[in-house]
Structure 1
Amino acid sequence: MTPAARLSASIELIDTIDTQRVPASKALKEWGTAHRYAGSGDRAAISGLVWDVLRRRASSAWIMDDDTPRARVLGMMKLERGMNVDAIDALCNGGRFAPAPLTDRERAALTSRILDEAPSHIAGDYPEWLDGYLAQVFGDDRVAEATAMASRAPLDLRVNTLKAKREKMLASLAHLGAQPTPWSPIGLRIELGADARNPGIHAEEDFIKGAIEVQDEGSQLAALLSAAKPGEQVIDLCAGAGGKTLALAAMMQGKGRLIATDHDKRQLAPIYERLSRAGVHNCDVRTPKGPDDTLADIHATADLVLIDAPCTGTGTWRRNPDAKWRMRPGALEVRLKDQVAVLDRAAALVKPGGRIVYITCSVLPPENGEQVRAFVARHPEFAVVPPSQTAAVLWDKAENFAAAALQSPEGWLMTPRRTGTDGFFVSILRR
């Protein structure tokens, strides 16, 4: 397919997503099935265009003064791809499979309109109802922060220290352009271009043998900040597919007791194979069975309870750009109730001197600092460990990390703009 044909396909797909109200991933998969002639390079390039349009949905429409699929694609080419009007015009030549030529109105918009006067939620590409929350945490920087949250994410990997060392994996994955992550001492990063194909990590020998796992650097840091130690009793209360469970197991070096559970047994399904591949032998996976409490035998004995809390996922927008446009205020209210329930459950599991590590992949204050303050008010036997006392696990990076991340009395906040990671909040509460 020509670049112009790929552009036409992206316009068609954006229209499908709009009119049929389907997730972008589903629309892209169905388009690929219906267009078998499109090669893997074509599909990757078209996917890149569609995701970039969703990243810049509001600002692209503003630039074009038009909210049609075509307008958003054209606006994105200027804002996200940095193309000038002549380069865009060359693609929209009206030829076979190419978009229709630019109109005078489109050309004028691409030439003259800028975002300087756009409202914050337009310039930052997020739903208007979230503006107050983002202003609360970021103030006048919210457009810059939200713009970074709309950027393309790299592919981050965590080296499984039960099986390998980072230096060896850097050499083994050099053909993919792997580099050390800036903060995590066990992370690798593969930068992806706008039209990059999936590097096929799951087919790499190192992945198959359990030496590496896909995990954003922010998620790695959240696990590291928990300071899990060999010999401790550790509970991963919202384990899901097991990403942080695996990280905790490596930190514990196979020594101690690790329990992984989740209220949704469907989320737990992949964890068994992942634990086996990673060489983890000290993890007890407890799958819910009916109304009985899977942790009924644990009574204030845990050294560490890690809560990877259910949340709105605002910190992962760069990986799930269409999710932010589907988000509604009611979703936040539901998540806040879920967080209260899981925090209160964790409180009964921790022994005196033990700790809860509360993590969200959100940047919204109600899910982060406000939730922590409310928990301490309900459970005065717990106190927040000041962030300045928790960064030592990052060794020589601690001082620079403290300068980059946002600190509050309740914990750390990482963001794409400040730390180059997904958005993560981490609070450590000691009993």
Structure 2
Amino acid sequence: MPRARASRKRLDPARREAVRLLQRIETDQAYVNRLISAGLTDELEPEAGRRATEYVAGITRWRRWLDFLLAQAYRGRYDKMEPRLRYVLYLGLYELLFTDTPPYAALHEAVELARRLVRPQAGAVVNAVLRTLLRQRDFLPQPQTGDTAEDLAIRYSHPTWMVQHWLARYGPAETEALLRYNNERPWFGVRVRTDRIARHVVLHRLADRGVEAEPSPVLDDFIRVRRLGPILEDRLIEKGLLAVQDESAGLVVRLLDPHPEETIVDACAAPGGKTTYIATRMRDHGRVLAFDVHARRVELIRKAALQQGLTSIVAEAVDLREVPTRYPDLQADRVLLDVPCTGLGVLAKRADLRWHRQPEDLSELVQLQDELLEAAARLVRPGGVLVYSTCTIEPEENEERIRAFLARHPNFTVERADAWVPAAMVTAEGFFATWPPRDQMDGAFAARLRRTS
């Protein structure tokens, strides 16, 4: 009786899913964060889901550098390579260069993926290309185009226009520091509901699980962690004890300085991180009116408020520009306007955002930012406070917007940020501004304005 053929070993589910997600990102122009938040890795075991997410985020972040190296080692027209073969090569090379996967295992898995997901002969191509680069791993080829911006953009995997922009503004040393930071594994900020659980208790709990964490050096109710997975698995967020929030966002709320019994407007509020922190700082006494134009994202605000047991928050889906007309008598003690922006301060956490931004985005967003500022100003009572904030490092969206606003509104004045945030993060004009390589947090900006009449 003939022996049955041995069944083929199942492909590693994390790597297989990573290839599938990379294809979705390229063909659908999808965002990594949206694919992951949509639960596309939920069918995997937790460990495999985490690895698939890490692969996709890392490859997306380093895509341009990986393309450069693979083109050097591939014998043929790299620009004509079939997409799925390229995704497999991305994955294999990423594992060889950026993970602790043993080289033989990374090679074997990549070859198997190529054979099974592309075609049997593709395994030999993957084996040849990756072995060539493995031999060169300590002396990889470097871009030498003769153009500093182009070489830095390739080596640190950013769009060339972005690097040119930063070189002109910050110079070579600061630009390279920023590019390095954007590609490092970031710290994640986590806010602790210290009215419910002590910060040191959370840190001890994470240490017992082997999670790298430390107290925030600038906020007494925040910690920093290297991995969010264990916190999500521990369900501390669902219990309303913790909230994922960058320290820069927390500092913006500190600059707003909300007090109990006040009426506060949080404009462009979704997904609600700052909204819930405002309500917490007010001890949930008063009114927090949270507006956002996207109805589905307003549901995230309501969910966050419910999760954290906050009853002072009222969330509504409405364009801020319509609020002064819809509610002509609304006069808030404080208004927080966290405007839509290019997000160029959060590239360390948003691996793919660099590839979705274009130079013309700046001019389009500036007009919207001005319109939102005009609407927000109408909601501030005389003597009240308006805080304008962004998560970008671009002056066109930051200082220049405030200067233009003040020229139109002499009844508003700047209040220096020193009294509410660390002095090292306050500019000569009195604005709050973080620099990611220095502060180890997202790049952010905020201006505190007082309405005098």
Structure 1-normalised TM-score? Answer: 0.81
Tell me what 2:253 maps to: 223
Return closer, same or farther for 1:82/1:115 CA change in 2, 3 Å cut-off. Answer: farther
Task: Name the residue aligned to 2:427.
Answer: 407
Deviation at 1:311, TM superposition (A): 1.2
Query: Which of 179-188 and 60-69 deviates more?
Result: 60-69
For the pair shown, the structure with the greater C-alpha radius of gyration is: 2
- Among 51, 54, 64, the alignment partner of 1:58 is 64
SS class of match (1:119): helix
Q: What percentage of residue pairs aligned between the two structures are identical?
A: 25
**CA contact 1:123–1:143 (8 Å) conserved in 2:** no
Residue number in structure 1 paired with 2:127: 101
CA RMSD, 1 decimal:
3.5
One-letter amino acid matched to 2:182: M
Give the conservation status (yes or no) of the 8 Å contact 1:3–1:91.
Answer: no
Matched, 1:151 2:164: no
Alpha-carbon shift at residue 54 of structure 1 (Å): 1.0
**Counterpart for residue 416 of structure 1:** 436
Question: What is the count of residue pairs matched by the alignment?
Answer: 410
SS of corresponding position for 2:175: helix
Partner of 1:180: 215
- Any conservation in 1 of the 2:320–2:376 contact (CA below 8 Å)? no
Q: Secondary structure at the match of 1:367?
A: coil
Moved more, 70-79 or 244-253: 70-79
Q: Which residue of 2 aligns with 1:353?
A: 383
Residue type of the alignment partner of 1:148:
Y
Q: Which residue of 1 aligns with 2:226?
A: 191
Deviations 1:292-326 (A, max 9, x none): 63674465843211011111222222222122212
Q: Is the 2:92–2:107 Cα contact (8 Å) retained in structure 1?
A: no
- Structure 1 unpaired stretches of 5+: 392-397
User: Paired residue for 1:119?
Assistant: 151
Which is further off, 250-259 or 114-123?
114-123
Distance 1:235 1:352 in 2: 15
**Greater relative CO, 1 or 2 (CA 8 Å, sep 6+):** 1
Q: Is the 8 A contact 1:53 1:76 kept in 2?
A: yes
Where in structure 2 are there 5+ consecutive unaligned residues? 1-8, 73-77, 79-85, 115-122, 145-149
- 1:311-357 residue CA offsets vs partner (Å, 9 max, x unmatched): 12222222221222122334333322221111111112223332211
Question: 1:39 matched to which residue of 2?
Answer: 45
CA distance in 2, matches of 1:17, 1:202: 26
Cα pair distance change 1:237/1:16, threshold 3 Å: closer
Contact 1:239–1:245 (8 Å) recurs in 2: yes
**1:242-269 CA distances to partner (integer Å, 9 max, x unpaired)?**
2101111111123333222123333211
For 2:248, what is the secondary structure of its paired residue? Answer: helix
Is 1:92–2:112 an aligned residue pair? no
Q: Deviations for 1:198-220, whole angstroms, at most 9, x for unmatched residues?
A: 2252752x433322212122211
Equivalent-residue separation in structure 1 for 2:181 and 2:95 (angstroms): 17
Q: How do residues 17-416 of structure 1 correspond to structure 2 at under 5 angstroms? A: 17-19=25-27, 21-24=29-32, 32=41, 39-66=45-72, 68-70=86-88, 72-73=90-91, 75-77=93-95, 80-81=98-99, 88=103, 91-93=106-108, 96-97=112-113, 100-103=126-129, 105-107=132-134, 110-113=137-140, 115=142, 117=144, 119-140=151-172, 141-176=174-209, 177=211, 178-192=213-227, 198-199=229-230, 201=232, 204=235, 206-288=236-318, 293=323, 296-297=326-327, 301-391=331-421, 398-399=422-423, 402=424, 405=425, 407-409=427-429, 411-416=431-436
1:3 to 1:412, Cα distance in 2 relative to 1, 3 A: farther
The whole-number CA distance in structure 2 between the counterparts of 1:27 and 1:279 is: 29
SS at match of 1:222: helix
d(CA) in 1 for partners of 2:218, 2:97: 29
> What is the distance in 1 between the residues matched to 2:46 and 2:307?
28
- Alpha-carbon distance in structure 2 between the residues aligned to 1:75 and 1:202: 30
Does 222-231 or 132-141 show the bigger shift?
132-141
